[in-house]
Amino acid sequence: MTATPIPSDPFEPAFRAIEYFLTTGNEPDDLPDDIRNSEMYKKLVATMQELDKFVKGMAKGDLSVPLVLKGTVAGTLKQIQANLRHMTWQVQMIAAGDYDQRLEFMGEFSTAFNTMAEKLKETRTNLMAEIAARKKTEEALIQTQDQLRARIAEIESLQEILRDEAIRDALTGLYNRRYLNETMGRELARAGRSGSPVSLVMLDIDHFKKLNDTHGHEAGDLVLITLGNLLSAGTRKSDICCRFGGEEFVVILPDAAIGVAIRRAENWCQTFASQEIAFGEERLQATFSGGISSFPEDGETAEEVLRKADEALYRAKAEGRNRLIVSSH
């Protein structure tokens, strides 16, 4: 008995065509014409092409690809697309600083996304707190620096005042003997290098003890102040006026030859002698004697030039006071 052949499955070519299309994205060449030309097959191919285009677009990150198909599968894909669009928007909001965005779909991915958002929010909170604390610290540091600068300026000002007080005579405001000792050597050294002269005038108020005994120490102080003011007003900025001690004064005249020093000392002598000093109801008058020496004629050192001026002053006192004597060479 001859076996009856089992008829082939009529849908097998269609299944192979669908499998080939899903694998390669193309239609097979050997597909029978009756299947290729059937409306059902054409509709199936169009649907698969639409799905292929949509899925590939999402795989590349293009969430704008439309899907016009209907049905459960298409609806699910559209929902996934919508969810991805919403998630993209939420990521943009987080990037803009809104860390309260949360996903309520996509299972484990939502949990990971929400955990990331929580961590970012926590990090931002901690960072803002750190920035605020650092800003507060910087403000405190700036305030401390301002206070420190003000304190340094105050100290420098006080140091300048103390230095000035250390080299100034408190009564007359002229430089004191300490400053004279510090300065005169430098002046002579400078003059020695440049070859310029330096003259020195030493003054002593005549009969000062008698003036104090007669009118009191306040009157004596007033006479000292008056002579100090006269010397300050009658000298150049480069000249150095000092109260040497008691009623003695010394004036250093840089770049002044002996003749210039004599003329200027004579002017001081005449002005002081003619000046009436008001002391209460009284009018006081005083004179001074002076000795003049010069560098380098009278010595190469400050001690030698001072000694020559002092010797000349002693002679002026001995010869009757109210006069000037130039040191003998």
The residues annotated as belonging to the active site are 247
The rounded distance, in Å, linking the Cα atoms of 252 and 233 is 14
**What would the two tokens of residue 219 be?**
């009157």
The rounded distance, in Å, linking the Cα atoms of 129 and 124 is 8
Q: Which stretches within the chain are classed as H helix? A: 12-24, 33-36, 39-59, 72-95, 108-167, 177-194, 208-215, 217-233, 258-274, 302-318
The rounded distance, in Å, linking the Cα atoms of 262 and 251 is 12
- Helices 177-194 & 108-167, crossing angle to 10 degrees? 90
Q: What is the SS3 assignment for 65? A: coil
Cβ contacts of 27 within 8 Å, gap of 6 or more: 17, 20, 21, 36, 45
Contact 27, 45 (CB under 8 A): yes
**What would the two tokens of residue 75 be?**
């609806």
